[in-house]
Amino acid sequence: MEHKKLYKSDTDKVLFGVFGGLGEYLHFDATILRIIYVFVTAFSGFFPGIVAYIVAALIIPKKN
């Protein structure tokens, strides 16, 4: 059984490739994930969403 790993995307990225990598991992369109992220961040207060994105950008490794 092969384990999938989450990596930042090198090809589908706007800032750091977090949502591009998440989209590849989940087999889901990264643009839709970005739109969902914007709405969730806007309606829950901007600070937690921005901090979560920065943490994800720092923790998720680049693909070698």
- Predicted local confidence at residue 2, as pLDDT: 79
Residue 46 to residue 23: CA distance in whole angstroms: 22
Is 6 among the domain residues?
A: no
Total number of domains constituting the chain: 1
- Predicted local confidence at residue 35, as pLDDT: 97
Is 31 among the domain residues?
A: yes
- pLDDT tens track for 1-45: 778 899 999 999 999 999 999 999 999 999 999 999 999 999 998
Residue 29 to residue 23: CA distance in whole angstroms: 6
- Predicted local confidence at residue 64, as pLDDT: 74
- Predicted local confidence at residue 3, as pLDDT: 86
Is 50 among the domain residues?
A: yes
pTM assigned to the model? 0.86
Q: Supply the range of the domain harboring residue 50.
A: 18-59
Is 2 among the domain residues?
A: no
Determine what percent of the chain falls in helix, strand and coil, rounding each to the nearest 5. Answer: 60, 5, 40
